[in-house]
Structure 1
Amino acid sequence: MKAYLKNLVELNGTKTSRRFAYFIQFLIIVSVITFSIETLPNLKPQTRVVLNAIEVFSVLVFTLEYVVRIYVADKKLKFVFSFFGLVDFLAILPFYLALGIDLRSLRLLRMFRLFRLFKLVRYNKAMLHFANAMKMAKEQIILFMVITLMLIYFSAVGIYYFENEAQPEHFSSIFSSLWWSIVTLTTVGYGDVYPVTIGGRVFTFFILLIGLGIVAIPTGIISSSLTKAVDPVEEKKN
Structure 2
Amino acid sequence: MRHYVVFWGALSAMNVYRQRIMEILSKGDPDDTVSRVCDIFLSILIILNLVAVCLESVDSINLQYHSALMVFEWFSVTVFLVEYLLRIWSIAADDSARGATEWGRRGSYVFSFTGLIDLAAILPSILPLIMGGVDLRWLRVLRLLRLLKMSHYSSALEDLGSAIYEERRSFAATLYLLAIALFLSSSMMYLAESDVQPEHFQSIPQTMWWSLITLTTVGYGDVYPITAIGKFIGALTALMGVCTVALLTGIVASAFSNQMARREAIFEAEINAAMSDGIITTDEKLHIEALRARFNIPEEHAKTILGLLSEKKDPDTPL
* TM-score > 0.5 by shorter chain: yes
4+ residue runs over 6 A deviation: none
CA drift of 1:107 comes to 2.9
Residues 98-145 of structure 1 show CA distances to partners (whole Å, capped at 9, x for unaligned) of 223357636334322111111113213556544543443455445544
CA drift of 1:163 comes to 0.7
User: Per the alignment, do residues 16 and 141 of structure 1 end up closer, same or farther by CA in structure 2, a change over 3 Å counting?
Assistant: farther
**Contact 1:184–1:207 (CA under 8 A) maintained in structure 2:** yes
28-37 or 150-159, which deviates more: 150-159
Residues 65-85 of structure 1 show CA distances to partners (whole Å, capped at 9, x for unaligned) of 112212222422222222211
> Are 1:33 and 2:51 matched, yes or no?
yes
Whose radius of gyration is greater, 1 or 2? 2
- State the distance in 1 between where 2:71 and 2:226 align: 57
CA drift of 1:10 comes to 0.8
Q: RMSD across aligned C-alpha pairs, in angstroms?
A: 2.4
- State the distance in 1 between where 2:43 and 2:172 align: 31
Specify the alignment match of 1:79 in structure 2: 109
- State the distance in 2 between where 1:128 and 1:119 align: 13
CA drift of 1:44 comes to 6.1
Give ranges in structure 1 of 5+ residues lacking alignment: none
- State the distance in 2 between where 1:17 and 1:138 align: 36
> Are 1:4 and 2:20 matched, yes or no?
yes
TM-score, length basis structure 1: 0.88
Specify the alignment match of 1:61 in structure 2: 79
Q: Give the number of aligned pairs.
A: 238
- Identity across the alignment (%): 34
208-217 or 120-129, which deviates more: 120-129
> Are 1:101 and 2:135 matched, yes or no?
no
**Contact 2:218–2:238 (CA under 8 A) maintained in structure 1:** no
User: Per the alignment, do residues 44 and 78 of structure 1 end up closer, same or farther by CA in structure 2, a change over 3 Å counting?
Assistant: closer
98-107 or 44-53, which deviates more: 98-107
- State the distance in 1 between where 2:174 and 2:129 align: 42
User: Per the alignment, do residues 198 and 44 of structure 1 end up closer, same or farther by CA in structure 2, a change over 3 Å counting?
Assistant: closer
User: Per the alignment, do residues 122 and 189 of structure 1 end up closer, same or farther by CA in structure 2, a change over 3 Å counting?
Assistant: same
CA drift of 1:58 comes to 0.8
Specify the alignment match of 2:145 in structure 1: 115
Select the residue among 198, 203, 209 that pairs with 1:179: 209
Give ranges in structure 2 of 5+ residues lacking alignment: 1-16, 92-96, 98-104, 268-301, 306-319
CA drift of 1:229 comes to 2.6
Q: Secondary structure at the match of 1:88?
A: helix
- State the distance in 1 between where 2:178 and 2:132 align: 39
User: Per the alignment, do residues 145 and 50 of structure 1 end up closer, same or farther by CA in structure 2, a change over 3 Å counting?
Assistant: farther
- State the distance in 1 between where 2:180 and 2:133 align: 37
**Contact 1:186–1:215 (CA under 8 A) maintained in structure 2:** yes
Q: Secondary structure at the match of 2:89?
A: helix
**Contact 2:28–2:35 (CA under 8 A) maintained in structure 1:** yes
The residue type paired with residue 198 of structure 1 is A
CA drift of 1:45 comes to 4.6
Select the residue among 228, 238, 243 that pairs with 1:198: 228
